[in-house]
Amino acid sequence: MTTTTATHCPYCALQCAMNLTDDAGSVTVAGREFPTNRGGLCKKGWTSAELLSSPERILEPMLRQPDGSFAGATWDEALDLIAARLADGRAEHGADSVGVFGGGGLTNEKAYQLGKFARLALGTSRIDYNGRFCMSSAAAAGNRAFGLDRGLPFPVEDLDAASTILILGSNVAQTMPPFIGHLEGARSAGGLIVVDPRRTATARLTENGAGSHVQPTPGTDLVLLLGLINVVINEKLVDLDYIDRRTIGFDELRRSVGQWWPERVQAETGVPVRQLRDLARRLAAGGGTYILTGRGVEQHVDGTDTATAAINLSLILGLVGTSHSGYGTLTGQGNGQGGREHGQKCDQLPGYRKITDPAARAHVAGVWGVHPDSIPGAGIPAVELLASMGEPGGIRTLLVHGANVVVSAPNAERVRAGLAALDFLVVCDFFFSETAALADIVLPVTQWAEEDGTMTSLEGRVIRRRTAVTAPAGVRSELWIFHELARRLHAPSTFGTDPAEVFDELCRASAGGPADYSGLSYGLLDTGEAAYWPYPAGSTGTPRLFQDRFQHADGRARIHPVRARGADAPAQQGGILTLITGRLLEHYQSGAQTRRVPELAQARPEARLQLHPATAAQLGVVDGGWVDVTNARGVVRCRAEVTVDIRHDTVFLPFHFPGEQSANRLTADRTDPVSGMPEFKRTTVRVRALAGEERGAHV
Ligand code: SF4
């Protein structure tokens, strides 16, 4: 029998719509009409069904043996052992010795249940997730300025009518290709402006009169934005009426940016004064202007301040919450939005509530049927949580769901050492990811097409993921795993296994919170309703936020002045280069999935270090030749890709690859003090060309 099921892509937050057709076990993908992708898919989406029948799939629980190998076990054996070790660990070292690490790819139902499981079944505050590496700075800035964080506070299609779109630090042409269809209006008006140290595929969309590419020195985005604000204020391009009616803090901002006159900004960023002034004037010209930020400007130790500066610029231009204009941030992971709303963040309860808020605790405790005091307090963010592994008073047992921290976390070798120092590591995955390979127990879980659930896209729209194929007999949904472990641990409350029931409970828990889903149900979502949160019971949802008021009590946005840190030593001094890391079209996140899709792996089988021809010549590096990229934290050994698309003082590595090609061997685990975001986008390294005989040396 042939069945066709309407669902969405398993990968990025654009959540392109697709039809999956199962013809006697042969599954094919077709793009489906939907506002974000208009029937289009990228390579990752087209090939996504291949992993359902991958020969590398884990099909039964795997237990590490005394000799280090893995052997299959029954589910009862595995779950009994896990429950016993969790109970022993808690009894011996306290509840906070058990850590939980979640993922931005989990469905809303799983993210919700994981947070509840950690707090009630394990009694631990030590839960966080890999969205900390992705969206945390933009989220912190949104909460700071608007009192609410929803990546795009407007539907993606609103961008179609824009005449000017400024994209800061996002390579959408490679990370979410169907999105670029929404840039066409701005391109045809000559108004697509891309800020990126590299001439990426997105930056190339500005060529031939379609806009402009601004190529600042890495790590100077905040100065660039302060310079733009300076020009906008000094050239009287601000929207004073909007500022008076809708914001607080403009006078302080005006005083704070006085020191960033254009010539000084040029000296720091390398962006010419004329380009800076032209850009400010273009943004203020009207006709529909949007400012969008991405990880390129957010993954820094001042990422929250940089996103805040982009918001400040948007506010003084009167762009936010007005028709045909706006500010937004481009979420990366598939459920990066929903994953940060329902409780897997260390400081959060469902509905985007603060775990430190007594009223929020009382509400959620009421839904869970427990006393508010039984819910632990705030935990610690992801980088800190991982750094505590093996440390006195730190994590001794870790459960990992939907994350591959050995590849995706900064300072990866330190993370690897921390995982090795644990008493007990459990990983839920489809494959032996690099993190699963280090586990004591690996639990095989269902993939996206084998289960129901909901995801929340980059525009805050809740969508249905549907069961399209039957899961292999030996795998289980995480919801079932949480249920079984909670039962063995005699946890209070209930842990449902039916996604629709869990969603209903999530909706009740979110009622009255910032991310209110209480008017939603699977029944409503199945009608095709465009369900943008907040969607309180009795409402029809909120496609466009901030039309009348912001979420602060007085309804006004906060213009929060921010300061740039002092300029660091220029790159290339003494042979030092600035490394930035990022994504390739063919791969997703740590590559644990896409590296197993033959077509994608063949197209991009390895990491290559991008560097400028002048830099390559200086270092004796040839295109395709082997190099060592080093700093105090580690060494990456890979081939070079010599390209004019990058600045001479900058090199680039994709972060999808493991082992000796893992870019995160080099990145530091210092973080933004507000958001906990690591600085992935600015690492100092040296590059050395390898002689042929050195290539074989062990790294
Ligand atoms: Fe669409 Fe993103 Fe999937 Fe590509 S990876 S098909 S852009 S959802």
CATH 3.40.228.10 domain span(s) along the chain: 136-329
Ligand 1 centroid from CA 307, angstroms? 25
Q: Find the mean pLDDT for residues 535-560.
A: 96
Instruction: Say if residue 568's pLDDT is above 80.
Output: no
**How many angstroms separate the alpha carbon of residue 176 from the centre of ligand 1?**
5
How many A from CA of 559 to the centre of ligand 1? Answer: 34
What pLDDT does 697 receive?
A: 46
Give the tens place of pLDDT for each residue, 303-340. 899 999 999 999 999 999 998 999 999 977 889 888 88
Residue 128 phi/psi, 5-degree rounding, is -155, -175
Query: How far does the centroid of ligand 1 lie from the alpha carbon of residue 584, in Å?
Result: 13
Q: What is the pLDDT of residues 155-205, one digit of tens each?
A: 999 999 999 999 999 999 999 999 999 999 999 999 999 999 999 999 999
- The strand order across the sheet containing 211-214 reads 211-214, 192-195, 164-168, 289-293, 326-329
Q: Residue 699 — pLDDT band, cuts 50, 70, 90? A: very low
Residues 228-240 as b/e (b if ≥16 CB within 10 A, e otherwise) read bbbbbbbeebbbe
According to the model, what pLDDT value does residue 695 have? 67
Pocket probe for ligand 1: among 8, 11, 15, the residue whose CB has the most ligand atoms within 8 Å is 11
Shortest-distance atom of ligand 1 to CA 179:
7
Q: Cα(588) to centroid of ligand 1, in Å?
A: 10
Q: Residue 490: which residues within 8 A CB-CB, separation 6 or more?
A: none
Q: Which CATH architecture has domain 72-124+345-497?
A: 3-Layer(aba) Sandwich (3.40)
The pLDDT-based confidence of 633 (bands split at 50, 70, 90) is: very high
Q: 15 CA distance to ligand 1 centroid (A)? A: 6
3-state secondary structure of 2: strand
CATH architecture for segment(s) 576-696: Beta Barrel (2.40)
For residues 487 and 130, the model is more confident at: 487
Evaluate if residue 297 carries a pLDDT over 80.
Answer: no
Ligand 1: residue of 7, 8, 12 to mutate (most ligand atoms within 8 A of CB) is 12
Distance 10 CA to ligand 1 centre (A): 8
* Ligand 1 atom showing the smallest separation from residue 31 Cα: 6
Output the residue whose Cα is nearest ligand 1's atom 7.
Answer: 176
Q: 441-444 and 424-429: which strand pairing?
A: parallel
Look up residue 472 and give its DSSP letter.
P
- 42 alpha carbon – ligand 1 mean position (Å): 5
- For residue 567, pLDDT over 70 is answered with no
Q: What is the mean pLDDT of residues 625-651?
A: 95
- CA angle at 429 for the pair 427 and 432, rounded to the nearest 5°: 85
Residue 393: Cβ-neighbour burial (10 angstroms; 0-12, 13-18, 19+): exposed
Reported as a pLDDT band with limits 50, 70 and 90, residue 566 is low
Distance CA 306, CA 329 (A): 12
Mean pLDDT confidence for 69-79: 98
242 Cα: distance to centroid of ligand 1 (angstroms): 37
Please tell me the predicted confidence (pLDDT) of residue 181: 96
Distances (CA, A) of 69 to 80, 419, 432, 658: 20, 17, 12, 20
Best of 8, 9, 19 for a ligand 1 pocket test (most atoms within 8 Å of beta carbon): 9
CA of 9, closest atom in ligand 1: 3
Distance 29 CA to ligand 1 centre (A): 12
Q: What is the pLDDT confidence band of residue 22, given thresholds at 50, 70 and 90?
A: very high
3-state secondary structure of 227: helix
Whether the per-residue pLDDT at 574 is higher than 80: the answer is: no
Kindly state the DSSP code that residue 618 receives in the 8-state scheme: H
429 CA distance to ligand 1 middle (Å): 21
Say whether pLDDT at 254 is over 70. Answer: yes
pLDDT band at 63 (very low <50, low <70, confident <90, very high): very high
Q: Which atom of ligand 1 is nearest to the CA of 15?
A: 8
CATH superfamily of 136-329: Dimethylsulfoxide Reductase, domain 2 (3.40.228.10)
Pocket test for ligand 1, best of 7, 18, 44, 175 (most atoms within 8 A of CB): 44
Question: How far does the centroid of ligand 1 lie from the alpha carbon of residue 401, in Å?
Answer: 22
Share of the chain above pLDDT 70, in %: 98
**Inter-CA distances, 504 with 108, 150, 431, 458, 526, Å:** 11, 21, 30, 22, 14
Q: Which of 7, 16, 600 to mutate to test the pocket of ligand 1 (most atoms within 8 A of CB)?
A: 16
Report, at the CATH architecture level, how domain 2-53 is classified: Single Sheet (2.20)
CA distance 119 to 657: 33
Q: Whose CA is nearest to atom 2 of ligand 1?
A: 12
Closest ligand 1 atom, CA of 45?
6
Q: Which residues line ligand 1 (CB under 6 A)?
A: 9, 11-12, 14-16, 37, 41-42, 44-45, 176-178
Q: Is the pLDDT of residue 615 over 50?
A: yes
Query: Which atom from ligand 1 is nearest to the alpha carbon of 48?
Result: 3
Ligand 1 atom at minimum distance from 37 CA: 1
| Ligand 1 center from residue 146 Cα (angstroms) | 29
- With CA atoms as reference, report the closest residue to 194 among 290, 262, 286, 337: 290
Residue 693 reports pLDDT greater than 70: no
C-alpha distances (whole Å) from 179 to each of 107, 374, 559, 681 are 22, 44, 29, 23
Indicate the pLDDT class of residue 590, thresholds 50, 70 and 90.
Answer: confident
Average pLDDT in the 648-675 region? 92
From ligand 1's centre to the CA of 622, what distance in Å?
34
pLDDT of residue 698: 44
Atom of ligand 1 nearest to the CA of 177: 7
Percent over 90 (pLDDT), the chain:
87
- Every domain of the chain with CATH number 3.40.50.740 lies at 72-124+345-497
When the pLDDT of each residue in the chain is averaged and rounded to a whole number, the result is: 94
Closest residue CA from atom 1 of ligand 1: 16
pLDDT, mean of residues 45-49: 96
540 or 338, which is more confident?
540
pLDDT in tens, 419-442: 999 999 999 999 999 999 999 999
d(CA 269, CA 226): 11
Pocket test for ligand 1, best of 7, 29, 36, 42 (most atoms within 8 A of CB): 42
